[in-house]
Structure 1
């Protein structure tokens, strides 16, 4: 059903949305969407950095544990 919309249908939908909500409301909505996407990307980057830091900490602990085991032998 949605495959048959085409360019004229999309333009009609855009005009109807613009008339119903107004230009100011749409621009503020798009600004909020942009802020949400930016926040989401920032959260993903922070999560990846945290995981990398945690894996480095675990590797350091394993290396330190192996060094103390060698000293006991």
Structure 2
């Protein structure tokens, strides 16, 4: 029905081996493999540099917490005055 069977693929592979020879096909396969490895390495290196850039750009802040006593002792008036001073 128009599909390629396993026998047709084997005949095509045999013709390719006869035309190019095993040495040429082996070197072609090696070149193709090294190209794929180089491409994957380049993609991985690019992702690492992007991650480094993102972490270096982040600001470093210290997190401060108020104790329960400090939170309860603040008057609403004092709090509003502090807010006005910060603006």
* Inter-partner Cα distance in structure 2 for 1:53 and 1:6: 50
* Matched residue SS, 1:14: helix
Give the corresponding residue for 1:42: 41
Mapped partners of 2:54, 2:5: distance in 1: 49
Structure ranking higher in helix proportion: 1
Which aligned runs of 4 or more in structure 1 are off by greater than 6 angstroms? Answer: none
- What is the aligned partner in structure 1 of residue 50 from structure 2? 51
1:58 to partner: Cα distance: 1.3
Larger RCO (CA within 8 A; separation ≥ 6): 1
Q: Which structure's CA Rg is the greater one?
A: 2
Provide the TM-score with structure 1 as the length reference.
0.77
Aligned to 1:24: 23
- Count residues with an aligned counterpart: 63
Deviations 1:24-52 (A, max 9, x none): 00000000001001101100110110110
| Cα RMSD after superposing both structures | 2.0
Runs of 5+ consecutive residues of structure 1 not aligned to the other structure: 68-72
